[in-house]
Structure 1
Amino acid sequence: MVEKNDGSAASDALAQAFVQFALEQGVLRFGEFRTKAGRLSPYFFNAGLFCDGASLGRLAQFYARSLLASGIEFDMIFGPAYKGIPLATAVAIELARLGRNVPFAYNRKEAKDHGEGGQLVGAPLQGRVLIVDDVMSAGTAVRESIALIESAGARPHAVAVALDRQEMATEAGQDVPYSAVQYVRDRLGLQVCAIARLADLLQYLQQQSGNEFAEHRARVEAYRARYGV
């Protein structure tokens, strides 16, 4: 199953270009950030900051190129509310531009009780469904998406994310020896495509010069040594 890409020089270059793009956009930042698991992380990735047409369009290009390179097959795209909604829409547009036109759908947090009603919006869920989101911290959004997809009679097949943090997930407040991506891939049986991983961020930092990047690299390496998988 796919964890990032095919390991080729082209896919590694794509991951490095994405890391640089995320840093330039201020979407990937260094500092001290509290994660959902309560950890103090030396970096933070917030895809919600891809918040204009140009940056979202380029992000969609990275998703689409990674997906096409991965060889993952799917019949439609699903974007879990809320961040997954613009991501799924933009990725569907970019894939169509590249000649791969697929339907997409997304969910509401609360079911609508008027108009067309229901919790799902867009194309009917059917066939092999690709879930598009930004990152997976605990896999909660993916599990919720799986339940929605299966209840509609479709098959959750794969997940695409921008960044794989490659760190231990938590269960009932305790660290477990696998990441959210590994849980989704190995235990839920879904293929996973990530544009970049924490390892790609470290590779990017190692290639930079200057004390600022050296300081960030040391802190990120220490974090991975403690929580990495």
Structure 2
Amino acid sequence: MKNYQYEFIRYAIDKNALQFGKFILKSGRISPYFFDISKFNSGKDLIFLGKMYVKTLLESKISYDMLFGLSYKGIAIALSSSIILSYDYNQNVCICFNRKEYKNHGEKGLIVGKRPKGKIILMDDVVTSGSTIQKIISIMNPSEIHLSGMIIALDRQEQDLYKQSAIKNLQKNFNFKIKSIIKLTDLILFLEQNKNIVHTTDLCSIKQYKIKYGI
């Protein structure tokens, strides 16, 4: 792991964004760990989060002109990342994000911010379904944008319900790269090196979960 990945896991655990126990996922699976990015909810947290996303973005070598935050959690991510790019890297990168519901008055539409144009980076907390990404693409002008990639916080490295890698399928179907700040294997390594963080049974449960559902 790189230093910033180690730092991210430590900070996420301290903020209770990374939790351990038993959690029912949207898929119905019972997971021994859970990631809740909404725990990053102060100015200090958002500065930290923006720095982590920007480090991952720059290391990915993915070309970009704009950041697109997927509502709702991706909005704060895109905002904080654009501020860090401007303040720390002198890059004035525009952002936009989508509404969940169509606004039929005022500026109208589903997109808030600068009109998507050029190479677009999607930003969210965890991997998003293909249907969600397809919906996002459908509200942009395809002749004006190129979807370059997506940056997320955590790659659970997990099979979907069809026993396939959700991330690999998205990368193949949309022909773009998905990069994460950390992966499940990073979290396991961190917990192995810091055995006082969780009970031994929690670490064993995470490893067993990875064996059962991992890609």
CA deviation profile, 1:103-155 (whole Å, cap 9, x unmatched): 11011111111111111110111111000000015444333223323557312
Q: Does 1:208 align with 2:198?
A: no
Report how many aligned residue pairs link the two structures: 214
Gaps of 5+ in 2: none
Q: 4+ residue runs of structure 1 moved beyond 6 angstroms?
A: none
1:126 aligned to which of 107, 117, 125? 117
- The 1:150/1:38 distance shift into structure 2, 3 A limit, reads farther
Gaps of 5+ in 1: 1-8, 170-174
Indicate the residue corresponding to 1:5 in structure 2: none
CA deviation profile, 1:37-79 (whole Å, cap 9, x unmatched): 1000000001111111111110111001111111111110101
- The 1:22/1:139 distance shift into structure 2, 3 A limit, reads farther
**TM-score normalised by the chain length of structure 1:** 0.88
1:55 aligned to which of 39, 45, 51? 45
Indicate the residue corresponding to 1:73 in structure 2: 63
Indicate the residue corresponding to 2:100 in structure 1: 109
Which amino acid is 1:92 matched to?
A: S
Query: Percent of counterpart pairs with the same letter?
Result: 33
Indicate the residue corresponding to 1:87 in structure 2: 77
Note if contact 1:161-1:194 (Cα within 8 Å) is conserved in structure 2.
Answer: yes
Q: Per the alignment, in what secondary structure is the counterpart of residue 100 of structure 1?
A: coil
**TM-score normalised by the chain length of structure 2:** 0.93
Distance 1:68 1:211 in 2: 30
Distance 1:106 1:152 in 2: 19
- Root-mean-square deviation over aligned CA pairs: 1.7
Distance 1:65 1:58 in 2: 11
- The 1:141/1:20 distance shift into structure 2, 3 A limit, reads farther
The alpha carbon displacement at 1:210 in A equals 3.9
Distance 2:144 2:24 in 1: 38
Q: Relative contact order (alpha carbons < 8 A, sep ≥ 6): 1 or 2 greater?
A: 1
Q: Does 1:224 align with 2:215?
A: no
Note if contact 2:110-2:139 (Cα within 8 Å) is conserved in structure 1.
Answer: no
